[in-house]
Amino acid sequence: MEDLVSIHNMTFSRGERKIYEDISLRIPKGKTTAIMGPSGIGKTTLLRLIGGQLRPDEGDIRFKGESIPGMTRKRLFEVRREMSMLFQSGALFTEMTVFDNVAFPIREHTTLSEELIRILVLMKLQAVGLRGAAQMMPSELSGGMARRAALARAIALDPELIMYDEPFAGQDPISMGVVVKLIKELNDALNLTSIVVSHDVGEVLSIADYVYVLADKRVVGEGTPEQIKEHESELVQQFLQGKADGPVRFHYPSRSMQEQLLEAN
């Protein structure tokens, strides 16, 4: 199967701290690929690397076979029109209505008439169930609605790739269910390629075609949801089952307690 995005032996560090060491990933076209891992592992960083907002120290990231770090700024901006990202906070523009937010990328990148834009925007809002909220301001929306509005904006230009950054974080069960349904439906209906970054195990496993588990700067497990559930790695099992102690220690690394208590005297 053809890969839309592929990462080859990439190393990335922020200042002194290494975030990724020699990792490789493949995102097949038309599928939903999930990237899971504990908080603070740099999952959002990975999406920014794919979007070209950050550059890897070593290795390569390819979009349709073309190297993203090697692109000129102009070419990168062209390529970005084919991808889209749903930020964790939604990142709606606070000074515009929901309608204008969704219309924003269309107005920026096309010369369509306002009449046509109106139809397109209403269609996108219909798809996420927010047509009735078109004239509301982002501050009036609930967290779940804001994320759906942002999703409508993300699909406004019919991209090939959507990257979801923690789409389930901080959502109540109902809006979580709505988002899960939307991601699934959009992926099937528009034949999108999706990358979902999340640590909500249940939801991710229900929509993903393929799962990567990241921990400790590298890929610790990969496979279809069924394979991942049966994975032999202790780390993967600890993560999936949410055990408090395991390869990732409950205690932050320190000296032994006995030693520290005695020292006080």
Partner 1 sequence: MEWFAGIGRSTMGMAAGLGRAAYLLFGSLVARPQPLKNFPLTIRQIYVVGVQSLLIIIVSGAFIGMVLALQAYTVLVDYGAEQSLGPMVALSLLRELGPVVTALLFAGRAGSALTAEIGLMKATEQLSSLEMMAVDPLRRVIAPRLWAGIISMPLLALIFSTVGILGGHAVGVDWLGVDSGSYWSVMQAAVDFNDDVMNGVIKSVVFAFVVTWIAVFKGYDAVPTSEGIGQATTQTVVYSSLAVLGLDFVLTALMFGTH
Quote the least distance from Cβ 112 to partner 1, whole Å. 15
Say how far residue 246 (Cα) sits from the centre of its chain.
Answer: 26
CA–CA distance, 89 with 56 (Å, rounded to integer):
25
Among 55, 93, 191, 218, binds partner 1 (CB under 8 A): 93
| Residue 104 found at the interface with partner 1 (CB under 8 A) | yes
Among 9, 67, 89, 142, which residue interacts with partner 1 (rule: CB under 8 A)?
A: 89
State yes or no: residue 97 binds partner 1 (CB under 8 A).
Answer: no
- Give 78 or 188: the residue with its C-beta nearer to partner 1: 78
| CB distance 151 to 102 below 8 Å | no
- Is residue 265 part of the contact set for partner 1 (CB under 8 A)? no
Residue 121 within binding range of partner 1, rule CB under 8 A: no
Q: Which of 67, 77, 206, 243 binds partner 1 (CB under 8 A)?
A: 77
Q: How far is the CB of 94 from partner 1 (least distance, A)?
A: 7
How many helices (H) and strands (E) in the chain?
10, 10
Return the residues of window 28-57 that contact partner 1 according to CB under 8 A: 48, 51, 53
CA distance 96 to 93: 6
Q: CA-CA distance, 73 to 173, in Å (whole number)?
A: 41
The residue (of 81 and 131) whose beta carbon lies closer to partner 1 is: 81
88 binds partner 1 (CB under 8 A): yes
Nearer to partner 1, 105 or 247 (CB): 105
Find the binder of partner 1 among 22, 58, 66, 108 (CB under 8 A): 108
85 binding partner 1? (CB under 8 A): yes
Site size toward partner 1, by CB under 8 A: 21
Q: Which long-range contacts (CB under 8 A, 24 or more apart) does 1-5 make?
A: 1/28, 1/29, 1/31, 2/28, 2/29, 3/27, 3/28, 3/29, 3/62, 4/28, 4/29, 4/63, 4/64, 4/160, 4/161, 4/193, 5/50, 5/61, 5/62, 5/63, 5/161, 5/193, 5/195
CB 218 within 8 A of CB 19: no
- In the list 22, 58, 78, 234, the residue contacting partner 1 (rule: CB under 8 A) is 78
Total count of residues recorded for the chain: 265
Q: What are phi and psi of 121, to 5 degrees?
A: -65, -45
Interface with partner 1, residue 142, by CB under 8 A: no
Q: Site residues (CB under 8 A) for partner 1?
A: 48, 51, 53, 77-78, 80-81, 83-85, 87-89, 91-94, 104-105, 108-109
